[in-house]
Amino acid sequence: MKLYLAGTEIPAYRSLLAQEDYPTVALSYWGLRRRTKFTQPYVLADKFGGQPEILIDSGCHSINSKPTSDVTDAELRDIAEHYYSEFIGPNLDRLTYYVEFDAHQLGDDWIAEQRERLVTSRQKAIVVWRPETGREVLEQLCQDWPNVGITQAGADRLDIAHLLPSLAATHGTKLFGLGMTKTAGLEHGFWHGAASTSWISPSQFGDTIVWAGRELHRYPRRYKDMARARHRNAITDAGFDAEAIIADDPTEVLRLSVWSWKQFVAHIRARGVTGQPQVPTEENADPPPQAVDRLPDTVRHSGVTPAPLRQREKRPVPGLEVVQQTGEDGTAGRPTLRTVDPGVRSCDRCYLSSNCPAVEPGAACAFSLPLEIRTKDQRADVAAALLEMQAGRVFNLRFAEELEGGFPNPVLSGEIDRFNKMLKNVADMEENSFSVKITATQKGAAETGLISRLFGRDEGDQARALPAPVTVERAAVEAGFVDAEVIEDHAA
């Protein structure tokens, strides 16, 4: 993969990349229009010399990403004409690749019409695929054009990312990532080249980009001080002035960024990840596409009775099967649903094919996950395996923290917290506990006490009885009654 560092329309960035002898650069035509009126021809050979490869980006992504454009259709057509006739044409010998002027505002028909003028330089022209046009349009572009550009939004779609390796191998297409900002998407092996402005984010947003521990680290501005102190040894070992970088020297910070991106690209190449596609031969070439019959757009109330569908035997979807259980006496039990290896994943469409040690073109996946979680013991085994896996992650991060000088790693702290939560969940599953529930009903009106309702009438009476008999006189005294003499007694 070739990484084209963009932003060279700005002289300071262009000079820095030349000073660092960076081999592949990119320039945005739209960004250049903001800085110059083109009163004189812009000659790439005079600006860049003869050393780096140059990728010219039309910059239409800046227009297409805005909800409303402040440029009229007529102005866009004039700009596009200047781009092709007065900018690309005179510089065609010096540039390596250029991106078409794909202004969505002018419509698909206009873009298709402009592609006809790219035929004479089709080996250098990059046509752009838009995610909203769908997979079929992408496949057609790869079949018709040698170079196809895909933006970050298109590369983020998993269904498209899985398809790209096979398209590059089948049609011999060179795939280019345009405006790439995520390193994870660049690590795949289907890119021939990619253009990115992320390397200048330290000067634009105060980020810190440093290669350390065989990984490209990118820290936002709020972690700037922590990141630069943490990677101080790695920065010094690479030959940079750590004190200047900690003091936020703009030139030294960008030099570190350029060097880090170089190491990142070299790391990808060292793993054997390249963007060179396999050229199709006569034996494995795809047959030409044929027209496919389909139902008309409107079939309701057409007066024609559709033919009945041919019924087929139903079966579970791949990855599931129904197993008929058998009892101890040999009788059939209830059916049970289980997971099995679906056997449909192929190396050609797997998103891990660029790094998998068992990849083989045209072959099914060589691995499976033989898991069964049906009993408490099996559940405990899986929980223990996950706990061990998380513990390994914690210790690996701890080892990396030591290699980087012992500066506290916030990611390690988060993984330790996650391990403690998992440990508590496993302990809760293993804890033995029981509960008792007592339900009572009242059968007689006299059994109104709680003890009577729970344990019977005799027990209730015994619980209410006094420990010893009490005389009437004592009960009267304790109750507060006053003795009185009877003076007159009238019979009722």
What confidence tens digit (pLDDT) does each residue in 321-335 have?
888 777 777 777 778
Listed range (227-236, 328-337, 403-412, 440-449) with the worst mean pLDDT: 440-449
Considering the chain, what percentage of its residues have pLDDT values greater than 90? Answer: 39
The pLDDT of residue 452 is: 60
**pLDDT of 272-295, one tens digit each?**
544 444 455 555 555 555 555 554
As given in the structure block, the two tokens for residue 71 are 């440029």
Cα-Cα-Cα-Cα dihedral sign, residues 386, 390, 395, 399: positive
Listed range (22-31, 261-270, 283-292) with the worst mean pLDDT: 283-292
User: Which has more confidence, 363 or 97?
Assistant: 97
User: Which has more confidence, 440 or 1?
Assistant: 1
Name the range with the highest mean pLDDT among 24-38, 185-199, 349-363: 24-38
> Phi and psi (nearest 5°) for 323?
-110, 130
**Angle 413-416-422 from CA coordinates, rounded to 5°:** 145
Contact 94, 44 (CB under 8 A): yes
Alpha carbon 476 to chain centroid distance?
Answer: 86
Q: Give the pLDDT band of residue 12 (cuts 50, 70, 90).
A: very high
Confidence check: pLDDT of 444 > 60: no
| Residue type at 144 in one-letter notation | D
Q: Give the pLDDT band of residue 143 (cuts 50, 70, 90).
A: very high
The pTM (predicted TM-score) of the whole model is: 0.60
As given in the structure block, the two tokens for residue 325 are 């259980």
Q: How many CA atoms lie within 13 A of 450 on its CB side?
A: 1
The pLDDT of residue 200 is: 94
Q: Does domain 2-270 have CATH number 3.20.20.105?
A: yes
Confidence check: pLDDT of 410 > 90: no
**Separation CA 38–CA 33 (nearest Å):** 8
**pLDDT of 292-308, one tens digit each?**
555 455 545 555 677 88
**Separation CA 52–CA 49 (nearest Å):** 8
**Separation CA 186–CA 193 (nearest Å):** 9
Confidence check: pLDDT of 447 > 80: no
Considering the chain, what percentage of its residues have pLDDT values greater than 70? Answer: 79
**Separation CA 49–CA 174 (nearest Å):** 26
The pLDDT of residue 285 is: 55
Q: What are the CA-CA distances from residue 39 to residues 4, 33, 42, 56, 86 (Å)? A: 28, 11, 9, 20, 11
User: Which has more confidence, 76 or 369?
Assistant: 76
Cα-trace Rg, the chain: 38
State the chain's mean pLDDT as an integer: 82
The pLDDT of residue 258 is: 96
Confidence check: pLDDT of 180 > 60: yes
The pLDDT of residue 442 is: 54
Bridge partners, residue 99, by sequence = 126
Residue owning tokens 């513990």: 391
The pLDDT of residue 277 is: 45
